[in-house]
Structures are given as C-alpha cells and as structure tokens.
Structure 1
C-alpha cells in the first residue's frame, strides 16, 4: 500500500507545485530531500489507514477463496485466526511509534521549512497577533501585531518582576529588530520604574535596547512541536506553558498523537479483519468500499476534533483519543459479530 499510494501522492503534489518550484529556481537536491521528507511525513500520518486497507485486501482474498471457512471448520477459533494479525499489528505499531517519536519530527522540519521557504512565501506560518509570552521567571512580553517579513511589531509591552513585585514596565508603539547589532529599536518609548512607593517615568521618541529575548519569542512557529523528538517535545511544552503560549492545545495534540497512532493500528486491524473475513456476494470490492468508508469517517473525526483542540480550549486529550474510543467500541462489536 505504501508503494502504491506514496508515488501517487508525490506525483500529484509535484504536478501541483512544479510551477512554483520553477518560478523560485529551487535546486534539484532540495526538491529530492523535500520528497524524501514528504514520504516519511505522510507515511507517519497515514500508517494506520495504509495498514487498514492492506488487511482488508489480504483478508478479503482469503474469504473469497473460502480459506477462512476452511480454517474455522477445522476447529480453529476466531481468536486463534486473529492472532497473526495482532502479531503483525504489534510489529507495525512498534515501527510507527519509533517513526513518530524520532524520524517523523526530522522529516516534518524539512517538509515544513521547504514549503514555507519556496511555496508559501506570502502565507502566515507564525503567530503574529496578540503574542503574549513569559520569556523567563521574571519577564513578560506582549505585542499586538507582528510582521515577520519586516521584523517589526505594534503596541509592545515588556514587564519585569522580582517576586510578586513589578520593578519596571516598558511601553512602545512600535518595535523593530535590528539585525546588525541584534538589538531592538523602540518608537515612542516609555519606561515606568517602581522603587517602593516612588515611580519614575522615562520617555524618548526612539530608543535602542538590548532586550533579553530572541526574535522567535515574538513569532512562535506554529509547527514547532512537530519538529521535536518526544523528549524535546515534553521540555518544549513545559517551557511554553510557563510562557503562557496560546498554542498549548496544538502542541498537546502533537504529543498525544504520538501514542494514539500506534493504538489506532490495533483498533483498525481488528475492524478490518471483522469486516472482511465474511465472504460477500460483491467480493473484495464491497469489503474495500466498506473499509474506505470507515477509514474516511475515522479521518473526519480525527481532523475535526484535532482542529477543535488546536483552535479553542477543547481538551486535547479528548480530541485525540475520542476517535480511538469510538472505533474501539465499534471494533469490539464487529469482532463479536464476526465470531458468531
């Protein structure tokens, strides 16, 4: 299934994007690396569905040749008939777990960097509105609107605390990053300092400051979590929670999917065996049609709930595991029915 669908996916993707690649004079080597990353990236996402269709295809051939009837008529239980599928699913799930934990993040970084470097130059890949970050234990920054292309933002605020007491607060109507000396130029600068009950105010039209944060803190990349191995991802999420990042839901979805995909392999394998182990009048075509319909419903649930968790306060845990719970119940029902 991988050898069947991945080349088709590459062909369709290349046909869609070859114009932009030629327009941007993309080197052939980078295109080759992009499609290597493309293969790993989408294989990781679609691994359970590829396995699902493979099991339906194989089991339907057994059923059409009346081999399953011969197995069961000879006294082999359905559970014993299912055992090789579970062993195979365990091998594939182990590989999918390793792929999601370590290989897929590397491929995701190359895939996304190529896409936004050459194919989506004018698209927003970074959060640029209402950026609020805790950059360390004592400092907070806020900018209402940031333009990555110009490295400038509006309505900038910087707050410094010591314990629970604010020591100073900086305001600026505009902030611009200066690459030459890695400093920030602030327009309509104002600094309010607090020393016990005494407040002092400093104002300047323009002020050049070396502030203790990186440009990436003002423009957090939305796909950052996808590019990290599991250990780095845990550290990254913990740091983003301390900073008050609004993208925590997106990052939690990425983390939980690393575990849910291997589990979904077992669920979809059981469903595939239960659906395709019965010989039907329409043959393999009917089984494949039923399988594809189930697969599309699974993808629909997965995408809808994933987007809800990324774009709102909806629980990432519920969003990621709800499709597996629903289809796990379906798998148990279909398995019991197939045994009968």
Structure 2
C-alpha cells in the first residue's frame, strides 16, 4: 500500500512540474517573440539563429525560474489532494506526516540533481548563446556591448598591472596603454603607449609612441620609440573582458577562472562567486520549497485551492525578491557572496521547519 501511494504522489509531483514548465515556457517564448520580432526582422536575423536562440532561451529561463514552477506545481496538486480529502484518508490509515513527505523528498532529489547537472554543464552554454544573441541582434550594441571596453585596469600577475582607457574589438587596438612592474612593493619600470595593436600572426603587440621608464638607484633610465613590438603575458581578452563571462563557463572552467581572477585582484570577483555559489543553492532550494509547499497546501482551507495558490505565489515571489536583493548586494558591495547567496535558503529553511511542525500537529 505504501509503495502504491509513493508512486501515485511521485507521479503527480513530476507530472505536474513538467506540465507547469510546458505551459509557461511557450508563453514566455510568445511574449519574447512579440517584443523582439520587429528588431529581428529589421536586423535580418537568419531563422537558424532564431531557432537556436529560443532553444537557449528555454534552457536559460527554465533554470532561472524552476524553483517557482516547482513550488507552484506542488501547491497545485497537493491542494487538489487535500480538497478531495485524499490526504486525510492517507493520514487516517496510520501513515505519519513525515512518511507522507517521502515521495515529495524523492521527487525533490530527482529535480535537484537534474538542476545541478544542468547548472554545471548545459546552462552555461545556453547562457552564452542567449546573451550573445541579445547583444548582437537585439541591443544594437554588437560585440562592443558584450565587453567592458572602457577604463580596464587589471592585475595580470603577482607584480604586474595593465591599464587601457579603451579597446576597439574590430581593429584590436587599445588606447592609452600602460604596464607597471613591481618588486617587493617597489616600482621597477613603467611602460606607456598611446596605442597597442594586437598582431594575430605571431601573437605579439605593437606599441605606438612607446615610452619606458626604469627606476634606478640614482637616476631613472628612459627609453622612447615611435613603434615597438613586444610579447606580453596577458591575453587579448584581458584588454576587453566579457561582462557576463562567469555565466557562460562550466563548473570546472568557472572555478579555474575565479582562481585566476583572484590572483589578478579582479574587482568583479564577487560577481563571479555569486554565479558559482548559486549553482549549489538553487538545487537545495528545491527541498526547502517542497517542504513549504506541502506544509501550506496539505490542509483543506475554506478558500480552497485559490487560497493555497495565493499564499504560494506570495511566498515564491518573496523568495525571488530575497535572492535578487542579496545577489545584487554581494556584487556591488563587500558583503560576503556565500552568505548573500544562502540567506534566502536559510530564511525559508527556518520557515519550512516552522510550517512543517504546524502541519504535523
């Protein structure tokens, strides 16, 4: 009997969640098409590119909104069970509320593992395609809009720093370039150039109006040239970093990238860490939201399913609100990213424990 009930609830859990996704994603696509169709036609976007974009769009938004879809789908079918007095019948047969939760936890585990794998491997690729398409065809900013082209200041090694005031992605030319080399906190030399041009044939850079000042014990040594070729230990992307790069990297690539940026003293390290920590926090949210949804909707209320859905929508958007607020706070301030990312789960975890105790009573 218990196995039959488990299969019945688990089947409803997964089926309702799948139907919820299949219902809302096409609606999202239709709304997006209605808003963007004029720009797509004006920019003569190939149909193949549009098809790939909406495939990436589906994965990107399914991952972004899956906690809400999961939460509402559980409230929906659990409220139907409660209204049909099926939950009363199950509990009256001697099954405890904790045992009643088992198929929900199994379902949450399956969904969380799927979301975790998607976040590690599939979502980054979809995010890259989604973002690139928007910049190329919809935002009218092209490649330059994807990249941080102005006032780029980066640490390229433990003791070397570069700066460019602007970088042209088409001509591969940086302006007002400078490189500073330190040792034990003291400046060894500084290189300046009005322009820095990338040479793809031999992976070198050409500096125009080249100047170098080497700091000496008594006198400094100056070197000048109208043009000078050199090799540097930084990549072309270091002169024009992609603003959403962290979202497009798989888990292994992201951890390596963060370590590299941490050594460089990147000012965007908190943004990258938020992306990394969310890969874990979002799947964990599935368990918390599942417990809250069951606790809220397992009792038969006067308002019926509508009352439960209203409570569910309020809680779901409160979760999203907290997630966004603390995510932005971590990215724009010195607030620890790991705490900011996990605060919504902690707050709603406490709420889940409270609601679960009340539901058991």
| Length-normalised TM-score, structure 2 | 0.87
**Aligned residue among 80, 85, 89 for 2:104:** 85
Q: How far apart are residue 117 of structure 1 and its match?
A: 1.4
Unaligned runs of 5+ in 2: 1-19
Which residue does 1:25 correspond to in 2?
44
Q: How does 1:40-189 map to 2 (within 5 A)?
A: 40-122=59-141, 124-146=145-167, 148=169, 151-161=172-182, 166-175=187-196, 177=198, 184=205, 186=207, 188-189=209-210
**Aligned residue among 284, 303, 311 for 2:332:** 311
SS in 2 for 1:202: strand
Q: How far apart are residue 109 of structure 1 and its match?
A: 1.2
Which residue does 2:265 correspond to in 1?
244
Which residue does 2:241 correspond to in 1?
220
Structure 1 Cα separation of the partners of residues 171 and 353 of structure 2: 56
Unaligned runs of 5+ in 1: none
Cα gap change, 1:149 to 1:300, in 2 (>3 Å): farther
Q: Contact conserved, 1:53 with 1:288, CA < 8 A, in 2?
A: yes
Structure 2 Cα separation of the partners of residues 154 and 129 of structure 1: 10
Which residue does 1:290 correspond to in 2?
311
Structure 2 Cα separation of the partners of residues 293 and 151 of structure 1: 50
SS in 1 for 2:243: coil
Structure 2 Cα separation of the partners of residues 64 and 174 of structure 1: 72
In terms of mean alpha carbon deviation, does 121-130 or 215-224 score higher? Answer: 121-130
Structure 2 Cα separation of the partners of residues 149 and 307 of structure 1: 32
How many residues in Structure 1 have an aligned counterpart in Structure 2? 340
Which residue does 1:267 correspond to in 2?
288
Structure 2 Cα separation of the partners of residues 271 and 252 of structure 1: 28
Structure 1 Cα separation of the partners of residues 218 and 62 of structure 2: 62
Structure 2 Cα separation of the partners of residues 315 and 148 of structure 1: 34
What whole-Å deviation, never above 9, does each CA across 1:176-216 have from its counterpart, x for those lacking one? 55678765554553211245555211234555555443321
Q: Does 2:342 match 1:332?
A: no
Q: Contact conserved, 1:132 with 1:244, CA < 8 A, in 2?
A: no
Q: Contact conserved, 2:193 with 2:211, CA < 8 A, in 1?
A: yes
Structure 2 Cα separation of the partners of residues 168 and 180 of structure 1: 28
Q: How far apart are residue 275 of structure 1 and its match?
A: 0.6
Structure 2 Cα separation of the partners of residues 256 and 17 of structure 1: 32
Q: Does 2:253 match 1:255?
A: no
In terms of mean alpha carbon deviation, does 258-267 or 69-78 score higher? Answer: 69-78
Q: Contact conserved, 2:278 with 2:341, CA < 8 A, in 1?
A: yes
Q: How far apart are residue 271 of structure 1 and its match?
A: 0.5
Cα gap change, 1:148 to 1:311, in 2 (>3 Å): farther
Q: How far apart are residue 18 of structure 1 and its match?
A: 1.0
Structure 2 Cα separation of the partners of residues 115 and 5 of structure 1: 21
Q: How far apart are residue 92 of structure 1 and its match?
A: 0.7
Structure 2 Cα separation of the partners of residues 297 and 218 of structure 1: 40
